[in-house]
Amino acid sequence: SYVLTQPPSVSVAPGQTARITCGGNNIGSESVHWYQQKAGKAPVLVVYDDSDRPSLIPERFSGSNSGNTATLTISRVEAGDEADYYCQLWDGFSDHCVFGTGTKVTVL
């Protein structure tokens, strides 16, 4: 089955840029979605279809996808961005949903 690999953790200072990667075989040919999950809460969709944002998500959240890596970028990081982040795609070969391993973002 399709495997999506994320770094376990990313640390970033307030005001800086955080980049969270999601690696998969030829992932650039798939649509990738990103979720933010704060402690004890349900996941929230922050980017869908590689780079689109739901209406209530700040422009500081952006996404890109090419080759074997998709990336979620958080600009001007704030303390409130501290959370776990998961990538997700629909594997067209198996017709199943796949989640990435998750990345914990720590704001220093």
Partner 1 sequence: QLQLQESGPGLVKPSETLSLTCTVSGGSISSSTYYWGWIRQPPGKGLEWIGNIYDTGSTDYNPSLKSRVTISVDTSKNQFSLKLSSVTAADTAVYYCARLNNIHFDYWGQGTLVTVSS
> In this complex, which beta carbon is closest to partner 1, that of residue 19 or of residue 96?
96
Q: CB-wise, 7 or 99, nearer to partner 1? A: 99
Which residues within the stretch 49-88 sit at the binding site for partner 1 (CB under 8 A)?
49, 54, 86, 88
CA distance 38 to 89: 21
Q: Write the secondary structure of the chain as one string of H (helix), E (strand) and C (coil).
A: CCCCECCCEEEECCCCCEEEEEECCCHHHCCEEEEEECCCCCCEEEEECCCECCCCCCCCEEEEEECCEEEEEECCCCHHHCEEEEEEEEECCCCEEEECCCEEEEEC
43 binds partner 1 (CB under 8 A): yes
Interface region with partner 1, contact rule CB under 8 A, candidates 21-29, 43-51, 57-65, 68-76: 43-51
CB nearer partner 1, residue 14 or residue 58: 58
Least distance (Å) from partner 1 to the CB of residue 77?
A: 22
Question: Which residues bind to partner 1, rule: CB under 8 A?
Answer: 1, 31, 33, 35, 37, 41-45, 48-49, 54, 86, 88-90, 94-102
